[in-house]
Each structure stands twice: as C-alpha cells, then as structure tokens.
Amino acid sequence: MDALSLLNHVSDAYRKLRSLSIEATVTRESGDENDNQRSEQRARFPYAAPDRIRYEPLGNPGLLTVCDGTQVHTLFRHRGPRGPHYSSARANAQALPHSFRPDVPAGGNEPFLFNRINELVKEAETLPDENGYRVLSVTYKARPNPIISTSPVRFWVDPESYRIMRMQVAVGHRLPGHDEIEWARHTVLVRQIRVDEPIADATFEFTPPSDALEQRGGQGMIGGFGGGFSSRSVRGQRGMESHSSHEWQGETFVEHSRWRIRDATFTLERRITLSDADRSVEIVERATGPKGETETRCALDLA
C-alpha cells in the first residue's frame, strides 16, 4: 500500500470512531549534545464522537482541556503566585482541541484525532517498518509563518487498526528580527489505546477548582522578560519584525529591541533612570542602523 492510500485509511478509521481512550507520553527535546533540554509527561485523552474530549496531563502541572460539546474549558493548573485559573470559549466541532491540523502540523497542542491526516499533503513517502508499524514521512502544505518552521511529520501506523501509535515532528522557532533558528522535537507515544468502549458522561464535565479564578475572554495571560511580533511578507517582500527584552542595570531600566524592516536591520536601546529623589526621569535612546548610530536624550518632571 502506498503512502497516500495508507493516509486515506487512517483518516477513514478516525472518522468512524464512536469513542477513543488513550494514555500517552508527550516528549519535548531541544538543543544539541552540549546543551539540551528534555521534558516528558504522561497524559490521558478520552474522546466521544462527535465533539467531546478531555486532555488531562498526569501530575499537578499542565493544561487541562475539556470540551463538553458546547464549550471548551481550559484550566491552567499553576502553583505560582497567580494560582490556578481557567477560561471557557464556544466549541467548534470542526476544530476540536488535540485534533491534527494539516495546515498547522506543529500546532500548540498534541494531536490524538487524525481525521484530516490526508488533507493538504505535499509529499508523502513510506519508510522502513519499525516494530511491526508502518512508518510514513509526510510534508504538508502548511500555513506560511515567518518565524516557525516545521519538518516533515513522521507517523507510526498500526497496519491492522490504522491508528497512529506514534507521531514525531521538529519545530523551528526563530526570534523576530534574528536569523538563527532553534529546533525542538515533539514526540507523542501512545502507550495504551481503547476503541469504541463506553466512556462515562461525567468524564466530559468541567467543574473548576474552588480556588481557581476565571479568566474572561477565553484567553490566559502571558508574561515575561521579552516578546516580539512578525508581519507577513507582501508581494514577495519581507514584512516587519521586532524582538524586545528588558533588564535592570543598577538603578537604570534598559529596554533592548531589534527591528527588521524589509531587508534592513537596526537596534534600539532605551535607558530610563529616575533621579532627584524620583521627581524626574531621564530617558536616553540610542538607535543603531546600517549607516551609523544616533542618540537622543530627554528629561521629564514627574512632580
């Protein structure tokens, strides 16, 4: 059986599911032999057709996701200063959480439903079998993204049930305004699988913990010491990108940013210093571009 035919059989098998229960190991690896990081977590994933799922990482950390067919509930199980918080949003049966999306084959959550595995295929080839599984390497017509790259996706397929027993993909992230790409490998390994067995309705009910705060709007909050953005290319020309970070240097707050507009790159450094018993602030901004450097200074009275 060729690769495309096998993908069609896999898609058909998942479309016919009445229920699915999976226990899996999710692994993320990055770096090289000199400096690397690896994380591994067990997770459970029950599914009841057509639109109910539950993704539950085992242990305290991790993101609990429940779709009851009407709403998607997400619980951020943090133990930090904010404590646990949750959000809810309208469910979309065509884009259930943890469903494989060929346009974003390295999306934000690990896929366990592969109804669309045979869509948007650019190239597909069979590799030597491993441990009784058929192995496929598939390149998809992914959505263009200027800062994320995706390797071909590798699938290990049970030839009798056409279930995906393992999936692996490498994801490359590039900081906006930079050229270097950092790669991380994501692997989902199915350890147990049960098909079309009864699942209790209570599995797909969501009750937030008594100490959890609701984050309205269906989104969580993200914080840190840096960030950036990237706009898409237009008519073959590169768009605009920016990456920023900040730090304290003694009593001076320093912001760094790197900008790329089309093919030109420049940097900005802004230094903010309180003075005169916090009654004024001095701001020094230095811009460095392809043809030199310029500096501006100003002072503002605060009281």
Are 188 and 289 members of one domain? no
| Sign of torsion over alpha carbons 87, 195, 170, 11 | negative
Burial pattern 38-65, b for ≥16 Cβ within 10 A else e, equals eeeeebebbbbeebbbbbbbeeeebbbb
Residue 172 lies in a domain: yes
Are 106 and 251 members of one domain? no
Are 101 and 177 members of one domain? yes
Are 175 and 56 members of one domain? yes
Highest mean pLDDT among 75-79, 107-111, 212-216, 297-301: 297-301
Residue 220 lies in a domain: no
Residue 221 lies in a domain: no
Res 281: pLDDT? 86
Are 210 and 232 members of one domain? no
Contact status, residue 46 vs residue 27, Cβ threshold 8 Å:
no
Are 54 and 120 members of one domain? yes
- Tell which of 161, 179, 214 closes a domain: 214
Query: Domain of 10?
Result: 3-214
Are 205 and 230 members of one domain? no
Res 223: pLDDT? 32
Are 260 and 161 members of one domain? no
Stronger pLDDT, 39 or 175, i.e. the higher one: 39
CATH of the domain at 111: 2.50.20.10
* Mean per-residue pLDDT of the chain: 84
Residue range 189-203: mean pLDDT, rounded: 97
What percent of the chain has pLDDT above 90? 44
Contact status, residue 32 vs residue 181, Cβ threshold 8 Å:
no
Whether 238 shows a pLDDT value over 70: the answer reads no
DSSP 213-275: EE-TTS------SEEEEEPPPBTTB--EEEEEEEEEETTEEEEEEEEEETTEEEEEEEEEEEE
pTM above 0.85, yes or no: no
Res 274: pLDDT? 80
Phi–psi pair at 214, nearest 5 degrees? -85, 130
Tell me the pLDDT band of 46, cut-offs 50, 70 and 90: very high
- Tell which of 214, 239, 269 closes a domain: 214
Are 197 and 232 members of one domain? no
Res 95: pLDDT? 86
Tell me the pLDDT band of 106, cut-offs 50, 70 and 90: confident
Whole-Å CA distances, 16 to 66, 157, 192, 241: 22, 17, 19, 44
Are 101 and 43 members of one domain? yes
Res 226: pLDDT? 46
Residue range 207-214: mean pLDDT, rounded: 84
Residue 186 lies in a domain: yes
Res 157: pLDDT? 98
Least confident span in 173-177, 194-198, 241-245, 292-296: 173-177
- Tell which of 194, 214, 234 closes a domain: 214
Residue 240 lies in a domain: yes
What percent of the chain has pLDDT above 70? 83
Please work out, in degrees rounded to the nearest 5, the angle formed at the alpha carbon of residue 55 by the alpha carbons of 49 and 58. 145
H helix intervals, 90-242: none
Residue range 248-265: mean pLDDT, rounded: 78
Stronger pLDDT, 161 or 36, i.e. the higher one: 161
Neighbours of 286 (CB within 10 A): 14
Residue 219 lies in a domain: no
Question: How large is the C-alpha radius of gyration of the chain?
Answer: 24
Are 176 and 289 members of one domain? no
Q: Could you give the number of structural domains in the chain? A: 2
Are 199 and 280 members of one domain? no
